[in-house]
Amino acid sequence: MERTERLRRQDKQAIWHPFTQMADWEKEAPLVIERGEGNYLFDTDGNRYFDGVSSLWVNLFGHRRREIDEAVREQLSRLAHSTFLGLTHEPAIELAGKLLAVGPPGLSRVFYSDNGSTAMEIAIKMAFQYWRQKEGGGKREGFLALSGGYHGDTIGSVSAGGIDLFHGIFRPLLFPVCRLPMPHCYRCPYGLARPSCGLHCAERMEEEVRERAGSLAAVVVEPLVQGAAGMILMPEGYLGRLRAATRECGVLLVCDEVATGFGRTGTMFACEQEGVSPDILAVAKGLTGGYLPLAATLATEEIYGAFLGRFEEFRTFFHGHSYTANPLGCAAALATLSIFEREDVLGRVRRLSAVLSDELGRLEGRPHVGEIRRKGLMAGIEIVKDKKTRESFSPAEKVGQRIVRKVREQGILLRPLGDVVVLMPPLSSTEAEIERLVCAVDGAIREVVPG
Ligand SMILES: Cc1ncc(COP(=O)(O)O)c(C=O)c1O
């Protein structure tokens, strides 16, 4: 207790936390996390919490998974880090081969970095420079992205992002990006009813791609689930049609699978579900099983080829980071991919998804549950003030935060997105844990916003 209090005090004196209103933080008694074991985190007072959002969407197989621990330790006994500029190493070489083997067909090059934002920053710069250097490429400099998109917090990925709350203030710093309305049937941007609204969104998207084809370098999307927007699900067929339209117009398609990758949606990558292979794919988060910061941007041979030339032509991709392809991260990623090889992880996700779906079904009738969205083990429950009009609560009511607080009293950690309660349990969860998670959320919703 004393130690916890001391740590809290020291934290408040020196630290500035991400995506956190620090004036509120200073008044709170934050949990000080000390260790993890399986799907649980433990605080310094010995309390145990189920990791209900996989430590912000990164963890796949729980904490202190033996194979990943051992792989990192083994790598540590040889080399913690060396630069990837002008040198290479075995874990990165082996990992590149494995990533290309599990990734969507057609991708043949791996460019490493260290987090989702930089993986997307790289994707954007790569697409831009590709057109500059492609034989007869023309002046294709534009990007088309979705409203509600989230691709990270660096300036390039913020430019592609479309969440006003996070990105609005930075607009003067950003490059302009053409914006497609978020295809979200619950709040249809065209005011239409299901199912025609989904089709309409797809048609308008195709028109937009065709109209802008000559000036677009790439279309950038989070396939199937727009996570940070509140787990918004793409209408079925939208992604496939986007791939067809971009192919037809010779525009690159960049898929950001930072959140959806590595089994979270029920397939290794979300874009597989619509038979889509992007030209550029960004991965991070689950890549190391949630252990270490490592990311990768995968590209086609066609894109890679445009960067080849004589040294003095300077067609080089001038981008890199001190910790690019960190060997410890690569070792953790290799161990993560071997778990996928050895165990039927995707079969397990499908079984757990069915349980999650059934459990969430019980919440449908609750008076303030607006929409329940789920793809695989990614779910969002949108809480609304008025179920009929779909009116939201005022942000000052902090409904999402209050619900999550209540859930914490039940020994479960969650983090909401506004008034969307996000559930993203580790892929290693048990059926009983999923049931307990939804039951606790249901109870908390009914307590915080009773009928
Ligand atoms: C789709 C998507 N892209 C990019 C990012 C940024 O990743 P990172 O936080 O590792 O920079 C996130 C993070 O949540 C994400 O969900």
| SS3 readout for 376-390 | CCEEEEEECCECCCC
Strand ranges inside 306-400, DSSP E: 369-375, 378-383
Q: What is the pLDDT of residue 1?
A: 84
Asked if 218 and 253 count as a contact pair (C-beta separation under 8 A), the reply is yes
pLDDT grade, residue 192 (50/70/90)? confident
Atom of ligand 1 nearest to the CA of 259: 16
CA 119 / ligand 1 centre spacing (Å): 9
pLDDT of 196 over the 90 cut: no
pLDDT grade, residue 287 (50/70/90)? very high
From residue 331, alpha-carbon distances to 41, 60, 64, 70, 93 in Å are 23, 15, 14, 9, 11
Q: What is the pLDDT of residue 296?
A: 99
CA 193 / ligand 1 centre spacing (Å): 31
From residue 227, alpha-carbon distances to 197, 390, 417 in Å are 20, 20, 9
CA 77 / ligand 1 centre spacing (Å): 31
Asked if 58 and 66 count as a contact pair (C-beta separation under 8 A), the reply is no
Pairing verdict, β 280-283 and 252-256: parallel
Q: Token digits for 21? A: 């209103």
Q: Which residue, among 300, 144, 276, has the nearest Cα to 214 in the 3D structure?
A: 144
Q: What is the pLDDT of residue 248?
A: 97
Q: What is the pLDDT of residue 240?
A: 98
pLDDT digits (tens, 9 = 90+) for 36-48: 999 999 999 999 9
Report residues whose beta carbon is within 6 angstroms of any ligand 1 atom.
Answer: 115-117, 120, 150-152, 222, 227-228, 256, 258-259, 284
267 DSSP 8-state letter: S
Torsions phi, psi for 391 (to 5 deg): -65, 140
pLDDT grade, residue 49 (50/70/90)? very high
Q: Token digits for 411? A: 């020994």
Residue nearest to atom 8 of ligand 1 (CA): 116
Q: What is the pLDDT of residue 440?
A: 98
Residue linked to tokens 């009009």: 389
Atom of ligand 1 nearest to the CA of 149: 1
pLDDT digits (tens, 9 = 90+) for 378-409: 999 999 999 999 999 999 999 999 999 999 99
Q: Cα angle vertex 405, ends 39, 6, to 5°? A: 80
Neighbours of 43 (CB within 10 A): 16
Atom of ligand 1 nearest to the CA of 293: 10
Q: Which whole number is the average pLDDT over 88-117?
A: 98
Q: Please, what is the average pLDDT of the chain?
A: 97
Q: pLDDT over 90 for what percent of the chain?
A: 95
CA 115 / ligand 1 centre spacing (Å): 8
Three-state SS at 11: helix
Q: Which residue, among 381, 384, 379, 386, has the nearest Cα to 363 in the 3D structure?
A: 381
pLDDT of 136 over the 90 cut: no
pLDDT digits (tens, 9 = 90+) for 396-444: 999 999 999 999 999 999 999 999 999 999 999 999 999 999 999 999 9
> Which amino acid, 91?
P
Q: What is the pLDDT of residue 414?
A: 98
Q: Which residue, among 56, 89, 97, has the nearest Cα to 293 in the 3D structure?
A: 56
pLDDT grade, residue 199 (50/70/90)? confident
pLDDT of 194 over the 80 cut: no
Q: Which whole number is the average pLDDT over 288-299?
A: 98
**Residue among 151, 225, 257, 280 to mutate when testing ligand 1 (max atoms within 8 A of CB):** 151
Q: What is the pLDDT of residue 57?
A: 98
Q: What is the pLDDT of residue 107?
A: 98
pLDDT of 451 over the 90 cut: no
pLDDT digits (tens, 9 = 90+) for 7-29: 999 999 999 999 999 999 999 99
pLDDT of 95 over the 80 cut: yes
207-243: b (≥16 Cβ within 10 Å) or e: ebbeebbeebbbbbbbbbbbbbbbbbbbbeebbbbbb
Task: State how far the Cα of 380 lies from the Cα of 283, in Å rounded to an integer.
Answer: 22
CA 154 / ligand 1 centre spacing (Å): 10
Three-state SS at 331: helix
pTM above 0.85, yes or no: yes
Residue nearest to atom 4 of ligand 1 (CA): 151
Q: What is the pLDDT of residue 198?
A: 78
Q: Which residue, among 99, 120, 127, 111, has the nearest Cα to 221 in the 3D structure?
A: 120
pLDDT grade, residue 191 (50/70/90)? confident
Task: State how far the Cα of 207 lies from the Cα of 193, in Å rounded to an integer.
Answer: 20
CA 226 / ligand 1 centre spacing (Å): 11
